[in-house]
A and B are shown apart, each in its own frame.
Chain A
Amino acid sequence: GESVGLHLPTLSVQEGDNSIINCAYSNSASDYFIWYKQESGKGPQFIIDIRSNMDKRQGQRVTVLLNKTVKHLSLQIAATQPGDSAVYFCAVGNNRKLIWGLGTSLAVNP
């Protein structure tokens, strides 16, 4: 069946450094890709998305990169701040199906 996986369950970075969270997916027909952030005690919160006709999209301090050739997705956070500490999920969709990854827990050290 379809799967979405993350390379690292946890990531620890120094405040001010850049963070990169990776995600791999199995279905080459996937056409939309979403990153969510979940802070403790809250539900997932949308960060950024990208469609399959793009390979890069930028938001405020975040960039999503999509490599359809190797079926890989990454989220880059610039100048990571303590408030970025959370679990980050990628979700990969095609048609009316959305498959979620397990999540990477990002810890920001002061």
Chain B
Amino acid sequence: ETGVTQTPRHLVMGMTNKKSLKCEQHLGHNAMYWYKQSAKKPLELMFVYSLEERVENNSVPSRFSPECPNSSHLFLHLHTLQPEDSALYLCASSQVDIRDTQYFGPGTRLTVL
């Protein structure tokens, strides 16, 4: 596999729930990313962390809250989501920054009811 794991693989939640997505990379990389993948849309970069500091936040609604406690782990905390937030959420890591090859996890398929 790619060295990037994501849990859970599938998640169904109501609009009032709070849940978290977890990503872990075993590649010794310094940058981690959250992407949203929706049908018929390009991959959307949500957040970028480099050396555990958030370096990019692409106008993502505050109902998505990332956390990077160390260079190997990345979380995406979800609360009061909307049905249009249903998508595949992909985590990726790379050596230093976005110009380096990114290694993706398998994604979490999120359904918001």
Contacts and interface: CB of A to CB of B under 8 A. Distances in A.
A4 B42 CA distance: 9
Q: Which of B45, B97, B99 has the most CB of A within 10 A?
A: B99
Contact of B98 (A4, A44, A49, A96): A96
Contacts of B41: 102
Contact of A46 (B56, B97, B98, B102): B102
B47 interface: no
A102 B42 contact: yes
A44 B93 CA distance: 12
A44 B90 contact: yes
Interface in A1-60: 4, 32, 34, 41-46, 49
A89 interface: yes
Interface of B: 2, 4, 40-43, 45, 56, 90, 92, 97-99, 101-107
Given A43-B92, A46-B102, A98-B45, 11 more contacts: A4-B42, A34-B101, A43-B4, A43-B105, A44-B90, A44-B104, A91-B43, A99-B42, A100-B43, A101-B42, A102-B40
